[in-house]
């Protein structure tokens, strides 16, 4: 694979020591591809072994970057992945995990501590991009500046989600609190108040009641109509994963249901790896929340935050629950 798009200086930490990477994958060819990309990124190679070697040698030190291919998960692998997630969170190591749609819910459910980059059926290019994003998060890491086009590509997602958060905040409150949302920052929006003088009978500020969520049948109709466009046009023309996921989670909340991460990826209408980046950013700015499964701690669901729920309720109230524009 040509490395011209992502060329790095040696990846050293603040002390000047090279960062190390640990690679775990059962497919020998994949391990060699990842090894080449890791070395090209300027990292030292600490370990390059199978998933079994991870299970057998959990006491060994890990690299600052851990790349793991986990297409299928057994009970032992799930337990090891959970322990790896905790170890990475405590040590500050960065995880890049590739998996499949079938194993996505289990992998996602096991990793709630370290904020890993999860890739679904990734291409080699997607894995390299994920590695670049990981290295960009390492403090004081000396990296060569990416080309302008690449840098803008990596920033575009965060910027778009920040804009979405600002718009939803304005919908969810009576008075917009300009600049309250920043990239990957979840702050409480300015509360909405109503009343003759903005106070209740006891002199306290009174929050305006939130309108009810729309009939979920209305939301499901909108979702079906949006999906129908792909029968007649290239689906990429209308790709709007953030809005499609907001609609799906709104319908689920109105139905008192829960949405798995794999189901939400499908609802997004974009490839799973892209959808996971959106889910991560929407969670980061406080629009989505991760909720653990009470009956199985290895599973987790995605739900709307209260801020996003309020915004969606007010949005549909503005439409009069009879939307004409989809």
Structural domains of the chain ordered from first start: 20-146 (3.40.50.2300), 149-326 (1.10.10.10)
pLDDT given for residue 163 in this prediction: 58
Q: Can you give the pLDDT of all 326 residues of the chain as single tens digits?
A: 333 333 344 454 445 567 899 999 999 999 999 999 898 888 899 999 988 887 776 667 888 999 999 998 888 888 888 889 999 999 889 999 999 999 999 999 999 899 899 999 998 888 888 888 888 776 655 444 444 454 444 455 555 555 565 666 566 554 334 333 333 433 333 344 333 444 454 554 445 577 889 899 999 999 999 989 888 888 778 889 999 999 999 999 999 999 999 999 999 999 999 999 999 989 988 999 999 988 877 789 999 999 999 999 999 988 875 545 44
Q: Is the pTM of this model over 0.85?
A: no
Rounded CA-CA distance 125/139 in Å is 24
| Cα 60 from chain centroid (whole Å) | 29
pLDDT given for residue 67 in this prediction: 95
Rounded CA-CA distance 22/324 in Å is 53
pLDDT given for residue 243 in this prediction: 94
Buried b (16+ CB within 10 A) or exposed e, 145-173: ebeeeeeeeeeebbeebbebbbebbbbbb
C-alpha distance across the termini of the chain, in Å: 42
pLDDT given for residue 16 in this prediction: 52
Which phi and psi (to 5°) does residue 102 adopt?
-65, -35
Give the count of beta carbons closer than 10 Å to the beta carbon of residue 98.
23
pLDDT given for residue 23 in this prediction: 95
pLDDT given for residue 74 in this prediction: 84
Which of the 8 DSSP states describes residue 230? G
């Amino acid at each position: 694979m040509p490395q011209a798009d992502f060329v790095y200086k040696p990846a050293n930490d603040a002390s000047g020591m090279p960062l190390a990477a640990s690679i775990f994958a059962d497919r020998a060819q994949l391990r060699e591809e990842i090894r080449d990309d890791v070395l090209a990124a300027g990292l030292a190679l600490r370990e390059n072994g199978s998933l079994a070697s991870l299970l057998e040698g959990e006491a060994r030190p890990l690299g600052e970057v851990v790349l793991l291919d986990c297409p299928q998960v057994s009970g032992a692998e799930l337990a090891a992945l959970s322990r790896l997630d905790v170890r990475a969170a405590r040590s500050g190591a960065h995880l890049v995990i590739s998996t499949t749609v079938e194993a996505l819910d289990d992998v996602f459910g096991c990793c709630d501590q370290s904020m890993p980059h999860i890739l679904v059926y990734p291409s080699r290019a997607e894995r390299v991009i994920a590695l670049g994003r990981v290295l960009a998060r390492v403090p004081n890491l000396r990296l060569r500046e990416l080309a302008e086009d690449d840098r803008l590509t990596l920033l575009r997602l965060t910027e778009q989600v920040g804009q979405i958060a600002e718009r939803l905040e304005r919908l969810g409150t009576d008075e917009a609190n300009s600049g309250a949302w920043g990239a990957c920052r979840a702050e409480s929006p300015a509360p909405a108040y109503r009343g003759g003088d903005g106070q209740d009978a006891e002199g306290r500020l009174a929050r305006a009641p939130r309108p009810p969520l729309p009939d979920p049948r209305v939301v499901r109709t909108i979702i079906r109509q949006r999906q129908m466009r792909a029968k007649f046009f290239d689906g990429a023309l209308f790709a709007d994963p953030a809005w499609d996921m907001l609609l799906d989670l709104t319908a689920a909340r109105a139905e008192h249901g829960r949405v798995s991460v794999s189901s939400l990826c499908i609802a997004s209408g974009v490839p799973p790896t892209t959808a996971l980046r959106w889910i991560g950013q929407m969670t980061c700015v406080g629009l989505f929340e991760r909720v653990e499964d009470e009956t199985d701690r290895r599973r987790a669901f995605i739900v709307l935050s209260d801020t996003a729920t309020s915004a969606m309720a007010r949005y549909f109230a503005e439409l009069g629950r009879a939307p004409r524009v989809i």
